[in-house]
A = this chain, B = another copy of it.
Amino acid sequence: MDDRAVPLDAETKVAERPHDHKNELRLWLRLFTCKELIESEVRKHLRVDFQLTLPRFDLMAQLDRAHKGMTLGELSQRMMVTNGNVTGLVDRLVEQGVIDRRKSPEDRRAQIVSLTAEGRRLFRAMARANEQWIGEMFADLSNSDIETLLRLLAKAKLSVRAAIGAA
């Protein structure tokens, strides 16, 4: 059997690298730092310009994509920022008048939440502002830098997914 024909798993590939993984570690820390800087700036903008927290923005973003609304269970699964208290977030957004809650026609024990017309207008305004903030933060990157980062981070994501799947 020819060893070279066997697909290498992540651990073998790592073990075959000549040295340590200091550069991979540096990459992880740099990625982490970039994410923290950007996220904290987005949080600040949301608070100052819209008096809204990031988890509430995230929840509204999920609902904006779901034109028929979502159950609380679906919402919890899809939230990017928090897997915390979705029920509490929903309560406060209902009070604010930006989402509403009704019984599911298919299952009367389940509740469907969706954006109100006002909520949709507010979310669209925030989404436009968010795109502008992010554009400003990445303003010193050229189009080619951005394309390269998109491509290599897609590759990194696949690599991470493969390692997680193999673990």
Contact of A138 among B27, B138, B141, B145 (CB under 8 A): B27
In Å, the complex CA distance between A149 and B164 comes to 21
Q: Which of A10-27 contact B (CB under 8 A)?
A: 10-11, 13-14, 17, 20-27
Q: Which residues of B contact A132 (CB under 8 A)?
A: 14, 21
B80 touches A32 (CB 8 A): yes
A41 interfacial contact with B, CB 8 Å: yes
Quick one: copies of this chain in the complex?
Answer: 2
What CA separation (Å) do A86 and B26 show in the bound complex?
Answer: 25
CA distance A13 to B137 in the complex (A): 10
Q: Are B27 and A164 in touch, CB under 8 angstroms?
A: no
With a 10 A CB-CB cut-off, give which of A13, A33, A149, A150 has the most chain B CB atoms.
A149
Where the two chains meet, the residues of A that have a C-beta atom closer than 8 Å to any C-beta of B are 10-11, 13-14, 17, 20-28, 30-39, 41, 80, 130-132, 134-141, 143, 145-150, 152-164, 167
